[in-house]
Amino acid sequence: MQSGHIVIRSRDRNTTISPSPADVFINSNISYFSNSNIRSVEGESFEAFYSIPNINLRNNVLLLDDGATSYPVEVPEGYYNYDELAVELATQLNLLGLGAFTVDWDTTNNKKFTMVSPVSLSIVQYPNQRKDLSEVMGFQKDVNGTVFLGSFPDISYTRNIYVVSDAFHDRKRIDDQCSTPLLNNLIMVVPVHWNEYYNVDELEPRNIFHQPNVTKRINFDKTTTISNIDIRLYDDVGDILYVPKDGVSNLNWRLTLNISRDL
């Protein structure tokens, strides 16, 4: 039995097939994969430069309804702390022409957002986003009124990155205990945000490093070879990790795998 390390990098992907660094396909000409009998693969570490706006096209719309008309309110993509998000949402709400809205972030009373509307309306689910701005800010949906009190806000885009691969799971010999029913091709879960509440440092672009305390091992049939590699990164709601279309450099990553094979 021989073991060694393989490093897979997002910059080595086939950019024609995989324009996004979160959805990577690599044609492997590495003899270690294509000409060797692989026994097992373990995800050893994940490193990334992470610069993804916490409010982005996946979570930036608040949809209001007064029973006759729906009003989508879009907050521009960007890095927001709680106070900045309250100010920007109020700015966008006051462009609707319905009257003066106020939005406040209250740090003294259980840390929550409060939105006051000049007219009676309700917040409804925005259909194009699985986690819309009402969920980010903790507002309850489908309740008619003029005062909306948020609870349990979380303005992170995602608190974890889920690193998955079909290629490394297609021919595994036995089921593993570390995959979930929804992500049975999981290699590792990488924490992005540790704190309960954001601080300024968490909002800035930064480097991420994660080395699992207990690695997941994928066991193979001894005749297994892998000619092509796919690595995909998912967010907390199960979508491919968002990367701005004009900002592919917002995410660069390196995944280190420990490979065991027959001599």
Q: Which residue has the higher pLDDT, 163 or 35?
A: 163
154 to 17, 39, 133, 210: CA distances (angstroms)? 34, 42, 10, 22
Q: Which residue has the higher pLDDT, 113 or 33?
A: 113
CB atoms within 10 A of CB 245: 9
Out of 124, 149, 174, a domain closes at 149
Average pLDDT, the chain: 86
Out of 149, 180, 207, a domain closes at 149
Give the integer Cα–Cα distance in Å for 197 and 55.
15
Q: pLDDT value at position 35?
A: 53
HEC profile of 212-262: CCCCCEEEECCCCCCCEEEEEEECCCCCECCCCCCCHHHEEEEEEEEEEEC
Give the integer Cα–Cα distance in Å for 6 and 210.
16
Q: pLDDT value at position 206?
A: 85
Q: pLDDT value at position 196?
A: 67
The pLDDT tens digits for 84-123 are 999 999 999 999 999 999 999 987 766 899 999 999 999 9
The closest of 64, 87, 88 to 76, measured between CA atoms, is: 88
Same domain, 168 and 188: yes
Residue 211: strand pairing partners:
none
From the number of C-beta atoms within 10 Å of its C-beta (0-12, 13-18, 19+), residue 71 rates as middle
The lowest-confidence range among 71-80, 81-90, 150-159, 181-190 is 181-190
Q: Which residue has the higher pLDDT, 117 or 3?
A: 117
Same domain, 237 and 120: no
- Percent share of the chain, pLDDT over 70: 83
CATH of the domain at 35: 2.60.120.1100
Domain that includes residue 107, residue range = 61-149
